[in-house]
Structure 1
Amino acid sequence: MTIRAVVFDFGGVLFDWSPLHLYRKLIANDHERQWFLDNICTQAWNTEQDAGRPLAEATRTLVDQYPHHETLIRAYYDRWPEMLRGPLPEGVAILKALHAVNMPLFGLTNWSAETFPYARANYPFLQCLRDIVVSGELKLIKPDPAIYHASLGQVRAHLPDIQAGEVVFIDDVAGNVEAAIALGWQGIHHVSAERTAAQLRELGVGF
């Protein structure tokens, strides 16, 4: 099947986002820093905000549990932009190259509805995308099949007759790619920009 649309994940593909970028400034000791991120402000906790939980509620709940860590907990979202180091140039180069040859491009990201506007306002390359599904806005999250159905529906708003097999999804999390493939999409597990570009070309995408 000819690829007629490409859907990009954001973190790890187009954006360099990590809590470490902030907490290296706040916790000098490597072991203490990792303990805090593994046990207090965990990835699982952050994922709940990506799934739609309000940041204020999430912060309040954690502060109630761990009051002696309140300052560090509040920093997570008060200083959230410091976790977003910026674009990953090689991934963005693929996005722009595809845009230059008029490939329809879309986004599908696990991201809080409250923090995503910062990215949209500060990173103009997102304008290359015709539409973006943000998990926090839908209160759905990858790899739930429902969010892929929502994304495909968004693609079909622009390309009404497109089939799932004509869409390729690029994500740095293997399980998210596998979920897309299970629904009939093409999928690329993003390990490096070079490898992703090669796999796109193997699928017949010229750029």
Structure 2
Amino acid sequence: MIKNIIFDFGGVVMDWNQRYFYQDYFRDDEKMEFFLKNIATDEWNAEQDRGRSLAEGTEILVAQHPTWETEIRAFYDNWTTMLRGDIPENVAALRALAETEFELFGLTNWSHETFPYALAHYDFFEVFDGKIVVSGEEQLIKPDPKIWQVLLDRYQIKAEESIFIDDNAKNIEVAKSLGFHTIHCLPNIDLIKEIEKITQTVL
């Protein structure tokens, strides 16, 4: 029986992309893509999601790429511009689920320094009633299986009674290996229908 629905946030209920800031900053897509693929990479940003401070991450990258210092320092100075807003259809599904018997949880790769901004500006996070595991606070990051175990242990829930929703295929793969039912959140997905498919087949 499914009792729990666990949401990733970025790409599921929040629309965040570095390009929302850097497109206007560079006004040159080729230069922007070079910067994001070779300088301010996803791997670098992930270390801040893992718990490294924004200041330390910035200084490390500036030391490695001093000719890009201005562009690097602009990253976290303009982080809120990168957070365009929520994903309305998925937030609507989340709010609908809050009216059911399912217990809702969050499991997100997010810096402990920037996540409070989202909490303060988007009231739908209130439906989780604080039951959110943030990678930056735990110093663990998906797809490390240990961060799922933090969620299971802290809230005394079982993977086989839970649906995990994420936009990242690797995270979905790991969650499946841990016994979770999963939904790979692609654009235009109907989350309620996908959840119903699972609940109808799991007794």
- Note whether the superposition's TM-score is higher than 0.5: yes
- For 2:141, the equivalent position in structure 1 comes to 141
Q: CA deviation at 1:70?
A: 1.1
Q: Does 1:179 align with 2:170?
A: no
Which structure 2 residues correspond to residues 134-173 of structure 1 after superposition, within 5 A? 134-156=134-156, 162-173=157-168
Q: Does 1:79 align with 2:78?
A: yes
- Paired AA for residue 168 in structure 1: I
Q: Deviations over 1:40-83 (max 9, x none)?
A: 11111000111111111110111112122111100111111110
- For 2:195, the equivalent position in structure 1 comes to 200
> Percent of pairs identical after alignment?
48
Q: CA deviation at 1:193?
A: 4.9
Instruction: Give the Cα separation in 2 of the matches to 1:193 and 1:177.
Output: 18
**Alignment check: 8 A CA contact 1:106 1:155 kept:** no
- For 1:159, the equivalent position in structure 2 comes to none
Instruction: Give the Cα separation in 2 of the matches to 1:116 and 1:10.
Output: 10
- Which runs of 4 or more aligned residues in structure 1 lie more than 6 Å from their structure 2 counterparts after TM superposition? none
Q: CA deviation at 1:163?
A: 2.6
Instruction: Give the Cα separation in 2 of the matches to 1:48 and 1:194.
Output: 29
Which structure 2 residues correspond to residues 83-162 of structure 1 after superposition, within 5 A? 83-130=82-129, 131-156=131-156, 162=157
Q: CA deviation at 1:178?
A: 1.3
- For 1:27, the equivalent position in structure 2 comes to 26
Q: CA deviation at 1:174?
A: 1.2
SS in 1 for 2:189: helix
Q: Mind listing any 5+ residue stretches in structure 2 that lack a counterpart?
A: none
Which structure 2 residues correspond to residues 35-46 of structure 1 after superposition, within 5 A? 35-46=34-45
Q: How many residues align?
A: 199
Instruction: Select between 191-200 and 94-103 the one with higher mean Cα deviation.
Output: 191-200
Instruction: Give the Cα separation in 2 of the matches to 1:167 and 1:101.
Output: 15
- For 1:48, the equivalent position in structure 2 comes to 47
Q: Once superposed, what is the RMSD of the aligned Cα atoms? A: 1.3
Q: Mind listing any 5+ residue stretches in structure 1 that lack a counterpart?
A: 157-161
Q: CA deviation at 1:102?
A: 3.7
